[in-house]
């Protein structure tokens, strides 16, 4: 209820031409818009141009926004439509496997980390369960930098999903709506992204501890 009231207040300010409200909106969503645009376009510069076009479309379309979705979902749907059009114009096609991870088998974690599927008691379970990490290590600035690097190294769609879910705090439904993903695809992409980031962090902490 409070969130809806807050969004109504923001919409009123934007429609009234409040520049401070618009600058705050850009500040909040610009990095994520560019990150999502990179799923579809081939360069950072093109992604930034897509984000800029999105903000123009948002300003031009505010009076037509009907509130059938959240404001941010609406903004990101505008972005994905513009990015897809830009990709077609630039002759870039997104591999279907990027949005349908079930088509291309990919081990998010090394298979030897798990017991054999025919194991009599624990088929497919961890062979050696990952140990807990020291809290001070997880809070260290260098560790946070390694996490950011691991996320940036992910394939674009995985990077967008984990960023929106785990950094921006979006719900599964919001991510699905914004990126036009099925529940299964969103879940698999998030699992793979988290597994890869965890593996990179695990390697780093093991090296730091030796």
Name the CATH topology of 101-209: Arc Repressor Mutant, subunit A (1.10.10)
CA-nearest of 182, 158, 165, 174 to 73 is 174
Domain parsing of the chain, residue ranges: 3-89, 101-209
Which tokens sit at 168?
A: 């921006």
Q: Contact 150/162 with Cβ under 8 angstroms? A: no
3-state secondary structure of 114: strand
Q: How far apart are CA 158 and CA 53, in angstroms?
A: 24
Q: Contact 177/69 with Cβ under 8 angstroms? A: yes
Per-residue pLDDT of the chain (210 residues; tens, 9 = 90+): 566 678 889 999 999 999 999 999 999 999 989 988 988 888 889 999 999 999 999 999 999 998 888 898 899 999 999 998 998 887 765 544 444 444 444 545 555 555 555 656 655 555 555 555 455 544 566 777 888 889 888 988 898 899 889 888 889 998 998 888 899 999 999 999 999 998 888 887 777 664
3-state secondary structure of 126: strand
Q: Contact 100/185 with Cβ under 8 angstroms? A: yes
CA-nearest of 173, 179, 203 to 79 is 179
pLDDT at position 105, please? Answer: 44
3-89 and 101-209 agree in CATH topology = no
- Angle, helices 19-37 vs 44-61, to 10°: value is 140
Ramachandran region, residue 169 (left: φ > 0; alpha: ψ -120 to 50; beta: rest): left
Indicate the burial class of 141 (C-beta count within 10 angstroms; 0-12, 13-18, 19 or more).
Answer: exposed
Q: How far apart are CA 116 and CA 125, in angstroms?
A: 8
Q: How far apart are CA 28 and CA 33, in angstroms?
A: 10
pLDDT at position 143, please? Answer: 78
Q: Which CATH architecture has domain 3-89?
A: Orthogonal Bundle (1.10)
């Amino acid at each position: 209820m409070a969130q809806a009231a807050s969004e109504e207040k923001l919409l009123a300010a934007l429609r009234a031409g409040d520049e401070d409200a618009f600058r705050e909106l850009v500040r909040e969503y610009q990095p994520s818009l560019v990150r999502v645009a990179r799923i579809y376009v081939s360069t950072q510069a093109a992604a930034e141009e897509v984000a800029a076009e999105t903000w123009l479309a948002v300003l031009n379309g505010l009076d037509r926004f009907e509130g059938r979705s959240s404001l941010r979902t609406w903004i990101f749907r505008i972005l994905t439509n513009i990015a897809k059009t830009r990709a077609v114009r630039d002759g870039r096609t997104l591999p279907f496997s990027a949005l349908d991870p079930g088509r291309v088998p990919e081990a998010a974690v090394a298979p030897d980390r798990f017991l054999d599927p025919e194991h009599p008691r624990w088929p497919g379970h961890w062979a050696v369960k990952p140990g807990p990490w020291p809290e001070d290590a997880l809070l260290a600035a260098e560790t946070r930098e390694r996490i950011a690097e691991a996320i940036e190294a992910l394939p674009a769609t995985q990077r967008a999903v984990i960023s929106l879910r785990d950094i921006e705090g979006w719900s599964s439904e919001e991510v699905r709506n914004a990126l036009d993903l099925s529940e299964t695809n969103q879940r698999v992409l998030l699992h793979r992204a988290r597994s890869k980031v965890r593996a990179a962090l695990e390697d780093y902490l093991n090296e730091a501890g030796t």
